[in-house]
């Protein structure tokens, strides 16, 4: 009995020690030798317990500092918080690929899933359709009637949950803009499917019945089927009519005169809906929140927008008006900075990469911690204060990476800004809250 007890008491600390160092021995030790030959080292850090790594610490404590190694979401990773590291990663397209969102969910031919030349080609299609002045002019005109109607409805309700309402109007506008869908059961169905798709994107990619990821894949198939029916319908229409983004993307030709295939159109429409829906909803919600918290900002916003709206017939503004709304644009930018809609970005190292004496081993994830940049007093004075006037001076460009950077910088960044400016205009000229 005593011998057994001795064994057990001896084994427990040994087991604990092994568990604590397992990831270090498994992942870090093998690459340390090649690092020392190359004269570099792994970023500092500890990788926690097997499989879970430091996931729980990360979920509890959120932010990290500097560049360090850890083990999260089932794989070894490096968290990067320095602007210069992020810039290096953004620009090194030949060394890193996008690691998230998952290719099966976003579609193998979507912008977020392809790399190199194929990415550049697709990007020019998407940018032409959503981020260039002509497209933005059309979009600005299309989104306003729904937005104005939604604001009137909010006022009638008297009390609203901003997240729910901004989500509703964003979806209605996305439906209209992307595929000319009117509010109704079909859009409602898409909403539920997208909700489960996004849940699956955030889950471990375990594909068997009962998992969030499995459900997300099923939902993706259903969303794709809805949009596929729409594409087929349009094949009988005249080529000339461009009424929405789906038409736009279907009709643009590349330098060789080629159009996108149906599957490319589908994958990219889905990627854009996913990319634009939650991000626009959250940015709009935060705008409402910050303006309620900062009445001095609201007052200045009202002054600028009242003077614009006096010259408007019918109340709708154009992108030319928006470019003259200097203060409004600063409020939009400050909202986007504070909202940190994309708190971090994932990349995957496709080879051993050395940076400033540190090794990022092949197959490890790199998590670029954008939120840390935007809330760091070294980059922004009093960073948690909502202060649109900080944009009177140009900020350190490298420290402002809300939309990412390099060749994958957000394809909807101008669209997001314009939509926010439109919301700020109509809110500030018509309402108090």
Q: Does 424 bind ligand HEM (CB under 6 A)?
A: no
Q: Does 270 bind ligand HEM (CB under 6 A)?
A: no
The angle subtended at Cα 11 by Cα 7 and Cα 12, nearest 5°, is 125
Task: Pick one of 112, 187, 249, 266: the residue that binds ligand HEM (CB under 6 A).
Answer: 112
Rounded Cα distance between 401 and 83, Å, is: 8
Nearer to ligand HEM, 86 or 387 (CB): 86
Binding range to ligand HEM, per CB under 6 A, among 69-77, 297-305, 382-390, 399-407: 399-407
Chain position carrying tokens 């550049």: 120
Binding range to ligand HEM, per CB under 6 A, among 8-16, 249-257, 294-302, 406-414: 406-414
Task: Pick one of 408, 418, 426, 428: the residue that binds ligand HEM (CB under 6 A).
Answer: 408
Q: Please, what is the minimum distance in Å from the beta carbon of residue 368 to ligand HEM?
A: 8
| CA quadruple 268, 270, 276, 279: dihedral, nearest 10 | -130
Q: Please, what is the minimum distance in Å from the beta carbon of residue 113 to ligand HEM?
A: 9
Nearer to ligand HEM, 141 or 409 (CB): 409
Q: Does 404 bind ligand HEM (CB under 6 A)?
A: yes
Binding range to ligand HEM, per CB under 6 A, among 154-162, 236-244, 386-394, 407-415: 407-415
Q: Which residue is nearest to ligand HEM (CB)?
A: 412
Q: Does 179 bind ligand HEM (CB under 6 A)?
A: no
Task: Pick one of 47, 79, 111, 150: the residue that binds ligand HEM (CB under 6 A).
Answer: 111
Q: Say which residues have a Cβ less than 8 Å from residue 223's Cβ, sequence separation at least 6.
A: 190, 193, 194, 197, 270, 273
Reduce the secondary structure of 32-89 to three states and give it as a string. HHHHHHHCCECCCECCCECCCECHHHHHHHCCCCCEEEEEECCEEEEEECCHHHHHHH
Q: How many alpha carbons lie under 13 Å from residue 12 in its C-beta half-sphere? A: 5
Q: How many CB atoms lie within 10 A of CB 355?
A: 19
Q: Please, what is the minimum distance in Å from the beta carbon of residue 86 to ligand HEM?
A: 9
Residue 238 tokens, joined? 């005249």
Task: Pick one of 107, 175, 205, 275: the residue that binds ligand HEM (CB under 6 A).
Answer: 275
Q: Please, what is the minimum distance in Å from the beta carbon of residue 153 to ligand HEM?
A: 23
Q: Does 138 bind ligand HEM (CB under 6 A)?
A: no
Task: Pick one of 276, 301, 332, 355: the residue that binds ligand HEM (CB under 6 A).
Answer: 276
Q: Does 287 bind ligand HEM (CB under 6 A)?
A: no
Task: Pick one of 31, 47, 402, 422: the residue that binds ligand HEM (CB under 6 A).
Answer: 402
Nearest to 421 by CA among 190, 143, 72: 143
Say if residues 381 and 407 touch (Cβ distance below 8 Å): no
Q: How many alpha carbons lie under 13 Å from residue 379 in its C-beta half-sphere? A: 19
Binding range to ligand HEM, per CB under 6 A, among 51-59, 227-235, 248-256, 403-411: 403-411
Task: Pick one of 81, 150, 283, 338: the residue that binds ligand HEM (CB under 6 A).
Answer: 283
Binding range to ligand HEM, per CB under 6 A, among 45-53, 356-364, 381-389, 402-410: 402-410
Q: Does 298 bind ligand HEM (CB under 6 A)?
A: no
Q: Does 248 bind ligand HEM (CB under 6 A)?
A: no
Residues within window 59-98 making contact with ligand HEM, judged by CB under 6 A: 90
Task: Pick one of 336, 349, 414, 429: the residue that binds ligand HEM (CB under 6 A).
Answer: 336
Q: Please, what is the minimum distance in Å from the beta carbon of residue 156 to ligand HEM?
A: 28
Q: Please, what is the minimum distance in Å from the beta carbon of residue 405 to ligand HEM?
A: 6
Dihedral sign, CA of 151, 153, 158, 160?
negative
Rounded Cα distance between 194 and 273, Å, is: 9
Interface residue list for ligand HEM (CB under 6 A)? 90, 111-112, 123, 130, 271-272, 275-276, 279-280, 283, 336, 341-342, 345, 402-405, 408-412, 415-416
């Amino acid at each position: 009995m005593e011998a057994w007890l001795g064994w057990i008491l001896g084994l427990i600390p040994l087991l604990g020690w092994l568990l604590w160092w397992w990831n270090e021995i498994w992942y870090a030790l093998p690459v340390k030798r090649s690092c020392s030959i190359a004269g570099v080292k792994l970023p500092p850090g500890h990788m926690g317990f097997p499989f879970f790594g430091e996931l729980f610490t990360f979920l509890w404590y959120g932010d990290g500092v500097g560049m360090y190694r850890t083990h999260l979401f089932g794989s070894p990773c490096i968290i990067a918080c320095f602007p210069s590291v992020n810039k290096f990663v953004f620009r090194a397209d030949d060394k890193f690929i996008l690691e998230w969102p998952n290719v099966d969910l976003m579609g193998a031919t979507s912008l977020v899933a392809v790399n190199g030349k194929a990415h550049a080609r697709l990007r020019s299609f998407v940018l032409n359709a959503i981020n260039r002045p002509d497209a933005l002019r059309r979009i600005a005109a299309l989104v306003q009637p729904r937005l104005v109607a939604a604001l009137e409805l909010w006022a009638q309700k008297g009390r609203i949950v901003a997240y729910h309402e901004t989500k509703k109007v964003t979806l209605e506008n996305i439906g209209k803009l992307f595929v000319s869908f009117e509010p109704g059961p079909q859009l409602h169905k898409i909403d539920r499917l997208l909700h489960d798709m996004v849940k699956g994107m955030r889950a471990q990619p375990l594909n068997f019945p009962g998992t969030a990821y499995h459900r997300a894949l099923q939902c993706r198939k259903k969303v794709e089927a809805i949009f596929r029916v729409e594409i087929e319908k349009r094949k009988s229409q005249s080529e000339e009519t461009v009424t929405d983004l789906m038409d736009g993307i279907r009709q643009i030709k590349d330098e060789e005169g080629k159009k996108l295939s149906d599957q490319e159109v589908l994958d990219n429409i889905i990627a854009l809906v996913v990319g634009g829906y939650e991000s626009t909803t959250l940015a709009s919600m935060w705008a409402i929140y910050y303006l309620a918290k900062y009445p001095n900002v609201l007052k200045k916003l009202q002054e600028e927008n009242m003077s614009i709206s006096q010259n408007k017939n019918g109340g709708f503004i154009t992108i030319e008006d928006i470019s003259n709304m200097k203060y409004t644009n600063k409020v939009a930018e400050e909202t986007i900075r504070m909202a940190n809609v994309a708190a971090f970005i994932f990349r995957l190292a496709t080879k051993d990469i050395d940076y400033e004496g540190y090794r990022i081993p092949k197959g490890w994830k790199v998590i670029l911690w954008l939120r840390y940049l935007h809330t760091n007093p070294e980059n922004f004075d009093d960073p948690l204060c909502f202060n649109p006037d900080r944009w009177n001076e140009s900020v350190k460009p490298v420290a402002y990476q809300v939309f990412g950077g390099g060749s994958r910088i957000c394809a909807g960044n101008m669209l997001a800004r314009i939509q926010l400016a439109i919301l700020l205009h109509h809110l500030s000229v018509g309402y108090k809250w």
